Amino acid sequence: MTRKGHLFIRYSLRLYDIIYFVKKKMWMIPVMVLLLGCQNSKNDRSKSALTAYEGYYRAIEENSRFSGESLYYSVDITMSEMPDHTYRYYCFIDDPQIAMYDITVMAVENGISYDASGKMMPSVGIFEDMDFSMVPYQTYADAGFVKGVVISGETNEDQLSLNMLVEWKDKNHEKITREYLSYVVSPDGFYHEETAPVVDGVTDSGDNQ
């Protein structure tokens, strides 16, 4: 066989190997597309959550009047000293008096501005993959219907102030209601320094997040 014939056979075999490999790996293409799609979707959700986080943070930062209680739910806050002499606090929102859907809660420590904050403030309802709702006498955690929600944070101080935002929607997701709360928290308990109640009810607006 001539050298030209050998080259033709060799190149033909290479072409056959390439075609065989492509056919064999064709099943990977939709999987790769799916994985890329999932990753892009996750990145989009993360960006959206961070944007929402900043929006809620700045809403608390720009608000000037805070309440110490709500007509629609109960608030309880505890703080405990840890073995390393830092402090951990828990803010509980429970005992709903009305149906509250798609709940978001966030707290900002010591009035720190968003631009000066060096850590993520405690929140719930922003970064999670599911919505949380509270309805009187109804609990089904797998579907997001919970008895209460809690946020927690750590601090080196044995006393701090918390400015909080609690937001929820009605059953049809048409009306958004916000309340702003503030407390001074220590291992001895918590209290509110002001008495003026504030409820910021927002209807049919997605620009208040």
* Tokens encoding 209: 């997040």
Determine the Cα–Cα distance for residues 132 and 11; give it in Å rounded to an integer: 62
Contacts of 123 (CB under 8 A, 6+ apart): 53, 56, 104, 105, 106, 107, 151
Give CA torsion, residues 14, 20, 22, 26, to 10 deg. 180
Mean pLDDT score, 148-174: 96
Task: Please check the confidence at residue 208 and state whether its pLDDT lies above 50.
Answer: no
How many angstroms separate the CA atoms of 58 and 106, rounded?
Answer: 11
Q: What integer pLDDT is reported at residue 123 of this predicted model?
A: 97
Residue 194 is predicted with a pLDDT of: 63
pTM over 0.75: no
3-class secondary structure, 17: helix
Which residues 6+ apart lie within 8 Å of 125 measured at CB? Answer: 102, 103, 104, 105, 131, 132, 149, 167
pLDDT at residue 28, as a whole number:
41
Q: What is the mean pLDDT of residues 69-76?
A: 97
Residue 37: what pLDDT? 43
User: Which residues, 6 or more positions from 22, have their beta carbon under 8 angstroms from its beta carbon?
Assistant: none
Question: Strand (E) positions, the chain?
Answer: 74-81, 87-94, 101-109, 123-124, 148-155, 160-169, 175-186, 189-191, 199-203
Burial of 139 per CB tally in 10 Å (0-12, 13-18, 19+):
exposed
Rounded Cα–Cα distance for residues 149 and 128 (Å): 12
pLDDT for the residue numbered 52: 96
Give the pLDDT band of residue 46 (cuts 50, 70, 90). confident
Whole-number pLDDT of residue 188: 95
- pLDDT of 155 strictly over 80: yes
With tokens 């700045």, the residue in question is: 58
Rounded-to-integer distance, Cα 75 and Cα 148, Å: 10
pLDDT tens per residue, range 163-201: 999 999 999 999 999 999 999 999 999 999 864 334 454
Percent of the chain with pLDDT over 90: 67
Whether residue 14 is predicted with pLDDT greater than 80 in this model: the reply is no
Q: What is the mean pLDDT of the chain?
A: 81
The tally of CA atoms less than 13 A away on the side-chain side of residue 85 is: 0
Helix (H, G, I), strand (E, B) or coil at 209: coil
Q: What is the pLDDT of residue 1?
A: 57
The answer on pLDDT for 7 being more than 60 is no
In the predicted structure, residue 74 carries a pLDDT above the cut 90: yes
Summarize pLDDT for 75-116 with one digit per residue, the tens: 999 999 999 999 999 999 999 999 999 999 999 999 999 999
